[in-house]
Amino acid sequence: MKFTKMHGTGNDYVYVDLWTESVQDAVSAAIEVSHRHFGIGADGLILVAKPEQPGFAGRMIMYNADGSRGKMCGNGLRCVAKFLFDRNRTPGTEFDLETDAGPRHAVVFPGPDGRAERVRLSMGAPILAPAEIPCGFPGERAVDIPLEVDGKVWRGTAVGMGNPHFVIFVDDVDSFPVEAVGKRIETHPLFPERVNVEFVQVVGKDHLRQRTWERGSGETWACGTGASAVSVAAQLTGRAGSSVEIDLLGGRLSLSWDGAEGLVFMTGDAVEVFSGSWPVAAK
């Protein structure tokens, strides 16, 4: 099985081109190739497939490192856009992509070599109704709401961006015990499909710092849907304006949301690291 390793802001995945390759067992393949010591090393596996509908350039099918299926990944989708653009499979620098969370529009910004360097994505409109995220909080929105975990109460905001997110603002994101707290919130009974947890420090009205605990993958260097959720939560709680720069472990993302029912837009890098062949996952 031929593959390409790519990352968006350090959120790395193994990409397989279904135009030319086949994967018999994607769940096992995702687990094998993602392992940091015995595999290629990644936050998961992304299959770049032909579109199912006319008018789209391609389709993203993603799996987390534990083999679970994910509906959407902003950093991963930027790399899918680059993958297709660099291989001359798009109609130009603007095109639509299929995801399990719905259609997404991409705008590619090529570098000096003509290959995609940065990508702007429409991340869709945020889902704020708890039942649709899904989560078990009461009311029409779960904004700055308390959540009890192991006898301690954390206040957070629930936002759906194709994936469920719970955003918690903290004083110092560097010293925060992301793994210990994130792991417990991920599997909290109020989140029937588990949840991604963002821990966020406010630097200024247009500047945030973020660490993410992703369901099925643990702490990752970046999370595009998470950054989108953070931009929404920060605005809903009065901590940020309509446009923010978010620093993650793997770099910076630019986010904007008009604060109504509109779309969230995200801009960031897309990097191809190397290509190779993986024998085990091809069984």
Inform me whether the pLDDT recorded for 282 exceeds 50: no
Average pLDDT over residues 137-148: 97
The per-residue pLDDT for range 69-100, each reduced to its tens digit, is 999 999 999 999 999 999 999 999 999 999 99
pLDDT band at residue 279, thresholds of 50, 70 and 90? Answer: confident
* 252-278 mean pLDDT: 94
Report the share of the chain in percent with pLDDT over 70. 99
Average pLDDT, the chain: 96
pLDDT of residue 109: 98
pLDDT tens, 163-195?
999 999 999 999 999 999 999 999 999 999 999
d(CA 134, CA 158): 9
**Which residues are catalytically annotated?**
73, 223
Alpha-carbon span 48 to 18, nearest angstrom: 6
Which of 161, 137, 131 minimizes the C-alpha distance to 231? 161
Which pLDDT belongs to residue 1?
94
- pLDDT at residue 261 tops 80: no
Q: pTM for the full model? A: 0.92
pLDDT, position 211:
98
**pLDDT tens per residue, range 186-245:** 999 999 999 999 999 999 999 999 999 999 899 999 999 999 999 999 999 999 999 999
Cα–Cα distance for residue pair 57/72, rounded to 1 Å: 17
- What is the structure's pLDDT at 135? 98
Name the nearest CA neighbour of 231 among 213, 209, 249. 209
**What mean pLDDT is predicted for residues 121-149?**
97
Contact 240, 234 (CB under 8 A): yes
Structure confidence at residue 280 (pLDDT)? 62
* Neighbouring C-beta atoms of residue 177, cutoff 10 Å: 9
Residue 283 — very low, low, confident or very high, per pLDDT cuts 50/70/90? very low
Q: What confidence tens digit (pLDDT) does each residue in 98-109 have?
A: 999 999 999 999
Where are the extended beta strands (E) located within 28-144? 44-49, 58-64, 69-70, 94-98, 104-110, 116-122
Residue 134: pLDDT band with limits 50, 70, 90: very high
Residue 5 has pLDDT above 80, yes or no: yes
Residue 132 pLDDT > 60: yes
Domains of the chain: 2-120+269-282 (3.10.310.10), 130-262 (3.10.310.10)
